[in-house]
Amino acid sequence: MIITVTLNAALDVTYRVPSLRPHATHRVVDTIERPGGKGLNVARVLAALGHRTAVTGFAGGPAGGELRRLLAAVPRADLLTDALVPIAGATRRTVGVVDIAGGDTTMFNEPGPTVGPAEWASFLDVYRGLLTSGDARGVALCGSLPPGLPVGAYAELVREARTAGVYVLLDTSGEPLRRGLAARPDLIKPNAEELTWLTGFSDPARAARDARRRGARAVAASLGAQGILALDETGGWQAAPPGSLSGNPTGAGDSAVAGLLSGLAEGLPWPERLARAVALSAATVVAPAAGEYDRETYEKLLPRVQVTAAAP
């Protein structure tokens, strides 16, 4: 089993409109709702890949109820365990308005509920229970922190995972990433911008080496069209997709996390884990629905991802 943690889950709503005109009234052509937040995206891809996954974090209010209902209806939902912790506040919605003529999206993200100390304590109980079930092969800690949680929340979750001996991947940004790093996660997956913010270096290889010095056992830096650069104590690898792809990058990083963790759970070596992460990420960019991956593209790209050695 793999655990995904989404402390600031969302109900992602997509509105398609013929053309977005500020100040006008738009009749929405159709509405799509899906469970959102980075850890939920990771969980959906893990289930599609055939991995049993426990989903935890917080859910509350009407959007939280809808999120749980939709989570139970995703493909291979039989592999997903809903371990979300109820909260008094209402789960946030994100509204993405797709301009059909222009082909791009305008996003409106609600701020999210405030999580209280008792709710955080309940979550920690559930989280410890999942870590010590004897069944956990890895945990992904994903996304932003909701209002009310301490900025060191991820550092605490990293420590709990290490105590339980469960491989822990941290995928967040800003101060929660900096604090979480100091607790020595097994892997972080920053993009180029996050890595530069964290280390002050704009060269990805140099920044990744610095991030390891700051506490990450391994770094997998997602570099957009250049693929993923990974470093750990045994070596370095650069995995690149075959040619450039156009589409919607929403969720591409989450698919990469699912690729890395599923590969780890299957005992694959780094080059194969990275090839899977890059192919899943690219297959997410080209998929028609934001945050989904196209299985046919994934299977076609997987053998064509080039993995080369890089300086560790």
Stretch that binds a copy of itself, among 20-28, 177-185, 251-259, 278-286 (CB under 8 A): 20-28
Only one residue has tokens 């291979």, namely 76
Is 110 one of the binding residues for a copy of itself (CB under 8 A)? yes
Is 246 one of the binding residues for a copy of itself (CB under 8 A)? no
- In the DSSP assignment, the letter for residue 152 is T
Question: Which positions ≥6 away from 232 have C-beta within 8 Å?
Answer: 212, 217, 218, 219, 270, 312
Write the binding mask 185 to 214 for a copy of itself: x where contact by CB under 8 A, - elsewhere.
Answer: ------------------------------
Closest CA to 60 of 92, 108, 94, 12: 92
Name beta bridge partners: 10.
Answer: 36, 92
Closest CA to 14 of 173, 225, 278, 251: 251
> Considering the complex, what minimum distance in angstroms separates the CB of residue 60 from a copy of itself?
13
Name beta bridge partners: 309.
Answer: 237
Cβ burial 220-230 (10 Å sphere, 16+ → b, else e): bbbeeebbbbb
> Considering the complex, what minimum distance in angstroms separates the CB of residue 8 from a copy of itself?
12
Is 63 one of the binding residues for a copy of itself (CB under 8 A)? yes
How many angstroms from the chain centroid is the CA of residue 9? 11
Q: How many residues can be counted in the chain?
A: 312
> Considering the complex, what minimum distance in angstroms separates the CB of residue 298 from a copy of itself?
27
CA 119 to CA 7: how far, in whole Å? 11
Question: Which positions ≥6 away from 134 have C-beta within 8 Å?
Answer: none
Is 28 one of the binding residues for a copy of itself (CB under 8 A)? yes
Is 109 one of the binding residues for a copy of itself (CB under 8 A)? yes
First to last CA, the chain: 30
Q: Which of 27, 165, 243, 303 binds a copy of itself (CB under 8 A)?
A: 27
Residue 48 or 63: which CB sits closer to a copy of itself?
A: 63
Stretch that binds a copy of itself, among 12-20, 159-167, 215-223, 241-249 (CB under 8 A): 12-20
Q: Which of 73, 111, 213, 288 binds a copy of itself (CB under 8 A)?
A: 111
Catalytic residue (choose from 12, 171, 254, 294): 254
> Considering the complex, what minimum distance in angstroms separates the CB of residue 61 from a copy of itself?
9
85, 119 contact by CB (below 8 A): yes
37, 10 contact by CB (below 8 A): yes
Residues of this chain, 66-95, that bind a copy of itself according to CB under 8 A? 66, 95
Strands 10-17 and 80-86: unpaired
Q: Which of 24, 78, 165, 233 binds a copy of itself (CB under 8 A)?
A: 24
Residue 62 or 129: which CB sits closer to a copy of itself?
A: 62
> Considering the complex, what minimum distance in angstroms separates the CB of residue 115 from a copy of itself?
17
171 noted as active-site residue:
no
Residue 31 or 163: which CB sits closer to a copy of itself?
A: 31
> Considering the complex, what minimum distance in angstroms separates the CB of residue 38 from a copy of itself?
14
Question: Which positions ≥6 away from 200 have C-beta within 8 Å?
Answer: 207, 210
Catalytic positions, please?
254
Give the residues lining the site for a copy of itself (CB under 8 A): 15, 17, 20-31, 62-63, 65-66, 95, 97, 99, 102, 104-111
